Amino acid sequence: MNPHEEISVEELKARLDAGEKPLIIDVREPEEVAYGMIPGAVHIPMGQIPQRLDEIPREGEVIFVCRSSHRSGQVCEYLTMIGFEKPVNMVGGMLAWTQLP
């Protein structure tokens, strides 16, 4: 089992459609986000996470997304290890998000 929580693309979309505004951080590289991001997401490339920890709330839910959920899962593991309360990995990443009806 993962040491962090996960959310499906369907669940996240339903929450956004219901008017919720969770903090979503996209950890893809700039050339990847050029193809589109989840509305309202903040862009912090994975390699910049350690230097930009002050931009990420330590308490409460923060949802992380990347292309396929591998990198965002690594970010969630790292943040959990250093004491962040609730990093959440979006399963399937943007590949799954773009397949939503």
| CATH number of the domain enclosing 25 | 3.40.250.10
Owning domain of residue 54: 5-97
Per residue in 53-95, pLDDT (tens digit) is 999 999 999 999 999 999 999 999 999 999 999 999 999 999 9
DSSP string, 38-100: -TT-EE--GGGGGGGGGGS-SSSEEEEE-SSSHHHHHHHHHHHHTT-SEEEEETTHHHHHTT-
Q: Torsion over CA of 80, 1, 72 and 66, rounded to 10 degrees?
A: -160
Which residue of the set 9, 24, 66, 91 is catalytic? 66
Tell me, yes or no, if 66 is annotated catalytic.
yes
Band (pLDDT 50/70/90 cuts) for residue 1 is very low
| Res 4: pLDDT | 78
| Res 3: pLDDT | 66
| Res 10: pLDDT | 97
Say how many domains are in the chain. Answer: 1
Q: Whole-prediction pTM value?
A: 0.95
